A = this chain, B = another copy of it.
Amino acid sequence: MNLDSVFYPKSIALIGASTKPQSVGNDILKNLIEQGYKGEIYPVNPSAPEILGKKSYSSVLEVDGEVELVIVAVPAKFVPQVLRESGEKGAKSAIVISAGFKEMGNLDLEKEIVDICKQYDISLIGPNCLGVIAPEIGMNASFASIMPKFGNIAFLSQSGAICTAILDYAPKLGIGFSKFVSLGNKALVDEAELLEYLYNDKNTRVIGLYIEELPNPKAFLEVAQRISTSANPKPIIVLKSGRTTEGASASASHTGALAGSDKGYQSLFDQAGVIRANTIAEFFNYLNIFANAKLPKGDRVAIITNAGGPGVLTADAVIENGLKLATISQTTIDKLTPNLPPASNLHNPIDILGDAKEDRYKFSLETVVLDENVDSIIVLMTPQSMTEPVITAKSIIDISKKTDKTIIAVYMGQEQLQEGLHILEENNIPHTHFPEEAVLSLSKMINPNTNLTKEQLEVKSFVIDQKSEIQLILENYQKNNYLAIPEFEAVNILEKYGFDTLKYKIAKTEEEAYQITEQIGVPVVMKIVSEDILHKSDVGGVVLNITKDNARESYNRILDNVAKNVPKARIQGILIVEMANLKEGSEFIVGCSTDPSLGHLLMVGYGGIFVEVFKDIAFGIPPLRLVDIENMIDSLKSKAILEGVRGQSPLSKELLIDTLGRMSQLLIDFPMIEELDINPLLVTPNSVKVLDARITLKKI
């Protein structure tokens, strides 16, 4: 993809330029001409000789210079034609503003323009978008009237309205943008390509994404993971709508795209290492803070405040967001003591009292910034009669310039603190109105990828000998539409993938049943094998606790039951399985479902009847790196059971990790698997055993 041609084009043709004021084709032209773009601008409109003082062309092919970027704002049905012409003209990229594609159900038309762009190697932004703004070169290739200031935030949004809202807020927030893209339907260029591009863009420090669905989640995961685990990670901040079923369904009717489950997206974001905002306010706040703040080296926060109550609220927020209250060192306390009033509190939160003027703030901040126990500092000011918001702001700016520690100013007021806030903003000092939002941002600045080992960042690969054999078996079931494959086959496959399973064998005669029972060792369980029987117990197809004495009788009883209850069932035999010893260890559940948008979604959790009661489960998207598996397990409350609760032996976390790694690989190896359930998986101090397994294949 040639994305330089989108953000730094030397020449632009606007196809659908209009003479009619307040029309999209007129607004864009006006924005291009008036907001500082220095390259060539060619309006294309067959029925006007000139628009806004520029010569207009009847077709892009008529333009007498080169055209690097085309902006298309003609009715949808004309778009294929003008894109073909643009391709012939040699355009390298196109921004299609026009609506009337996938979002209106016109999938074919959208596919047609994608094919044309691919044919001519055109990077396509849109269709159905607001356009692109590149403040750096003064290019407003959109119909939004505001040109934001140049800054270090790259902003990509699937919603045009979120674009106009943030443009409208930007001056108040004091934020600027490196690149600003309304993505529209993302028919060709999507988040993955843009992330790759923006990672290498020296003007971009933080990337903000508003997403309704990801057309290419695996590519997104791969790029985002690479960025977040690189030596120079760039923060990626995401706001994703459709978190609830109701929201997702509203989203589907709005965008024409199927949003996947939110638990799936949450796993994707966790594994990708992106920061998720839960509300629009959070999103804007993160962008603002990340654009300006230095990233902290650790999680120890010091609070300097002129008010006790707000200091306590800040301390609460620090703890609730998983950060630590820094323990102020004795050296610092010794330095502060003689210079602050006796009623001050020198332990964190450091309360320099309501009558603190600039000198007290300055001295405390200068001193605390040197404390080795402190990674970041929140300077909190409430408007008191002695407060000096302006010169205190100047001190904060000076000290911030000289340190690589994170300093966030919280100016908790409006009227009296206005000017101070303005000075902080002008000097790019991160600041908020309330302490909680400062702390929340701070908590997101701690990069969880910092101290990971090479091993943790890798997807472990397991050598599987009989992969092609399994492939054949599964294809065969799939072809015969036998999608819920037999239990013994599921167990067989898991065995080949290195899972420990119960001993089993299929008997076809009474005599075989006896001999197998003897071989496996009593007691055993017998279960009917038939593609026509889904709920085996319901038809008398399962007998437990069988010994050698009643092996024959049990075999015959099952066949009799089935013959009576499902006379037409085709019988493959009777499965004889070792009975599990449930006394040792705990039952977990490991499974996989297929998300319509994200594909395989792997699941692990505490099993038994508690699955439904405590819903203690975690999700992941294969391929899972070691750290992903560790994070999944660590997020379970039942992790305590693995670690050994109330004097019980710890269970083998290592083997559970191994199991999830193998499962991840199995799912990558066989995309035809629709669902897989190991329930229960018995985890003991030194083993992990599949007690029951079920695999369902995708319908072809």
Say yes or no for A383: interface residue by CB 8 A criterion. yes
User: In the assembled complex, which residues on chain B have CB atoms less than 8 Å from the CB atom of A616?
Assistant: 614
> CA A412 – CA B168 in complex, angstroms?
9
Check if A254 sits within 8 Å of B385, measured CB to CB: no
User: In the assembled complex, which residues on chain B have CB atoms less than 8 Å from the CB atom of A318?
Assistant: 246
Q: How far is the CB of A389 from chain B (nearest CB, A)?
A: 10
Check if B161 sits within 8 Å of A325, measured CB to CB: no
User: In the assembled complex, which residues on chain B have CB atoms less than 8 Å from the CB atom of A395?
Assistant: none
> CA A639 – CA B491 in complex, angstroms?
35
Say yes or no for A351: interface residue by CB 8 A criterion. yes
User: In the assembled complex, which residues on chain B have CB atoms less than 8 Å from the CB atom of A613?
Assistant: 637-638, 640-641, 645
Number of interface residues of A (CB under 8 A): 89
**Given B171, B281, B316, B645, which contacts A241 in the complex, CB threshold below 8 Å?**
B316
Check if A169 sits within 8 Å of B316, measured CB to CB: no
Interface stretch (choices A131-139, A188-196, A305-313): A305-313
> CA A615 – CA B616 in complex, angstroms?
12
> CA A316 – CA B280 in complex, angstroms?
12
Say yes or no for A104: interface residue by CB 8 A criterion. yes
Say yes or no for A540: interface residue by CB 8 A criterion. no
Q: How far is the CB of A382 from chain B (nearest CB, A)?
A: 4
Q: Quick one: CB contact mask for A206-247 with B, threshold 8 Å, 1 for yes?
A: 000010100000000000000000000000000101111111
> CA A309 – CA B143 in complex, angstroms?
18
Residue of B nearest to A413 (CB): B168
Check if B609 sits within 8 Å of A648, measured CB to CB: yes
Interface centre among A157, A255, A312, A645 (most CB of B within 10 A): A312
**Given B169, B242, B315, which contacts A244 in the complex, CB threshold below 8 Å?**
B315
Check if A280 sits within 8 Å of B412, measured CB to CB: yes
User: In the assembled complex, which residues on chain B have CB atoms less than 8 Å from the CB atom of A310?
Assistant: 159, 161-162, 165, 280
Check A143/B385 contact, CB under 8 A, given A308-B254, A414-B172, A437-B281: yes
User: What is the interface of chain A, defined by CB distance below 8 A to chain B?
Assistant: 22, 27, 104, 143-146, 157-162, 164-165, 168-169, 171-172, 210, 212, 239, 241-247, 250-251, 253-255, 278-281, 306-313, 315-320, 325, 343, 345, 347-349, 351, 354, 382-385, 412-417, 433-437, 609-610, 612-616, 637-638, 640-641, 645-646, 648
7 pairs of A and B residues whose beta carbons are closest in the complex:
A159-B309, A161-B307, A168-B413, A247-B316, A254-B308, A244-B319, A161-B382
